[in-house]
């Protein structure tokens, strides 16, 4: 179930995504996706094992646009962007598949997978079991689940289903109250701490580090990913020294070449 109190713009995104889900259900049905997944029942994602490697791992985001920034990459070609990231230090890729507001597409995952051998997380607004099965059919290695939009019971259901299908999950939180909710759930392996305030769009890159120090400094039960706002090597060195497993960067890779150089030299 979707949480009742979320910002209006998120409601609009979810309404658009619900229409897509309803279309898939009416055209194909849930069993269509279940049967496709069952044909590859031995799948097991390596996303988390790559993220667990020593040092800070770069999750490079393949993204054309966002509601807050508009067009980020005017000459967007998902395969070329992913190739560039893969050649310059990315360990993992995040691929935006939301169509209306981020100008992504689910097919981008298969496009990139056919050319690049890096684990991919599907970054989208996922709230229905069909989307989890669909993600496996798209050859995603992991999915993003956003705590801010999901009730605890639905979040737990989707985490469990993902584990059954061999998918890894980044559970994304934006503040301490969301983090406390997620820590009470089962089967959570990766927690993403997003520095962006969902109500104001403002970014405070100190949020991730503060929450890490308060909750994960002496807790090795989770892999942690810092998200949003990083645009300098000094900021990356700071979160690496704190102990983050990875960092997810999109716009920063497009605008700040020294970040790419930092990971390329690793």
Q: Please tell me the predicted confidence (pLDDT) of residue 194.
A: 98
pLDDT in tens, 8-56: 999 999 999 999 999 999 999 999 999 999 887 788 999 999 999 999 9
Q: Indicate whether 256 belongs to any domain.
A: yes
C-alpha distances in angstroms, 112 versus 70, 78, 139, 167, 260? 23, 7, 10, 18, 19
pLDDT in tens, 224-264: 999 999 999 999 999 999 999 999 998 888 778 888 888 88
Q: Please tell me the predicted confidence (pLDDT) of residue 174.
A: 97
Q: Please tell me the predicted confidence (pLDDT) of residue 39.
A: 82
Q: Please tell me the predicted confidence (pLDDT) of residue 255.
A: 78
* Residue range 50-68: mean pLDDT, rounded: 94
pLDDT band at 70 (very low <50, low <70, confident <90, very high): confident
Residue 266 has pLDDT above 80, yes or no: no
Per the rule left: phi > 0, alpha: psi between -120 and 50, beta: everything else, 122 is beta
* Beta strands 65-66 and 70-71, pairing class: antiparallel
Q: At what angle do helices 8-27 and 129-137 cross, to 10 degrees?
A: 70
Are the C-beta atoms of 227 and 195 separated by less than 8 Å?
yes
pLDDT band at 89 (very low <50, low <70, confident <90, very high): very high
- Burial (CB < 10 A; 0-12, 13-18, 19+), residue 255, is exposed
Dihedrals φ, ψ of 196, to 5°? -85, 135
Beta bridge partners of residue 172, listed in sequence order: 146, 192
Residue 225 CB neighbours (<10 A): 27
Which residues, at least 6 apart from 258, have a Cβ–Cβ distance to it below 8 Å?
232, 233
Q: Indicate whether 198 belongs to any domain.
A: yes
Which residues, at least 6 apart from 19, have a Cβ–Cβ distance to it below 8 Å?
none
Q: Indicate whether 3 belongs to any domain.
A: no
Per-residue buried b or exposed e for 85-100, using 16+ beta carbons within 10 Å of the residue's own CB: bbebbbbbbbbbbbee
Residue 67 has pLDDT above 90, yes or no: no
Q: Please tell me the predicted confidence (pLDDT) of residue 258.
A: 86
Q: Indicate whether 192 belongs to any domain.
A: yes
Q: What is the CATH number of the domain that holds 96?
A: 3.20.20.70
Are the C-beta atoms of 199 and 178 separated by less than 8 Å?
no
Domain hosting 59: range is 8-264
Dihedrals φ, ψ of 162, to 5°? -60, -45
Q: How far is CA 208 from its chain centroid?
A: 15
Instruction: For residue 196, give the 3-state DSSP assignment.
Output: strand
Helix residue ranges per DSSP H, 43-100: 47-51, 78-87
Q: Indicate whether 1 belongs to any domain.
A: no
Q: Indicate whether 2 belongs to any domain.
A: no
Among the residue ranges 63-67, 75-79, 220-224, 228-232, the one predicted with the least confidence is: 63-67
According to DSSP, residue 3 is labeled -
Q: Indicate whether 147 belongs to any domain.
A: yes
Instruction: Provide the number of structural domains found in the chain.
Output: 1
């Amino acid at each position: 179930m979707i949480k009742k109190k979320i910002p209006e713009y998120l409601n609009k995104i979810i309404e658009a995504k619900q229409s897509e889900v309803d279309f898939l259900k009416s055209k194909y049905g849930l069993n269509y996706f279940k049967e496709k997944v069952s044909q590859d029942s031995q799948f097991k994602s390596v996303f988390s094992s790559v993220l667990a490697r020593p040092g800070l791992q770069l999750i490079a985001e393949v993204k054309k646009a966002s509601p807050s920034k508009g067009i980020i990459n005017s000459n967007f070609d998902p395969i070329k962007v992913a190739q560039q990231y893969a050649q310059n230090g990315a360990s993992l890729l995040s691929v935006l598949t939301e169509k209306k507001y981020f100008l992504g597409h689910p097919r981008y995952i298969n496009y990139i997978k056919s050319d690049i051998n890096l684990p991919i997380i599907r970054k989208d607004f996922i709230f229905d079991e069909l989307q989890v099965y669909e993600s496996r059919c798209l050859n995603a290695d992991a999915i993003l689940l956003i705590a801010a939009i999901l009730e605890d019971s639905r979040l737990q259901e989707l985490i469990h289903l993902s584990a059954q299908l061999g998918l890894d999950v980044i559970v994304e939180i934006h503040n301490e109250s969301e983090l406390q909710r997620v820590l009470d759930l089962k089967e959570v392996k990766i927690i993403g701490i997003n520095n962006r305030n969902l109500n104001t769009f403002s970014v405070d890159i100190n949020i991730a580090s503060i929450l890490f120090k308060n909750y994960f400094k002496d807790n090795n039960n989770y892999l942690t990913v810092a998200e949003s706002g990083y645009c300098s090597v000094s900021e990356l060195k700071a979160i690496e020294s704190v102990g983050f497993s990875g960092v997810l960067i999109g716009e920063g890779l497009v605008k700040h070449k020294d970040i790419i150089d930092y990971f390329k030299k690793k």
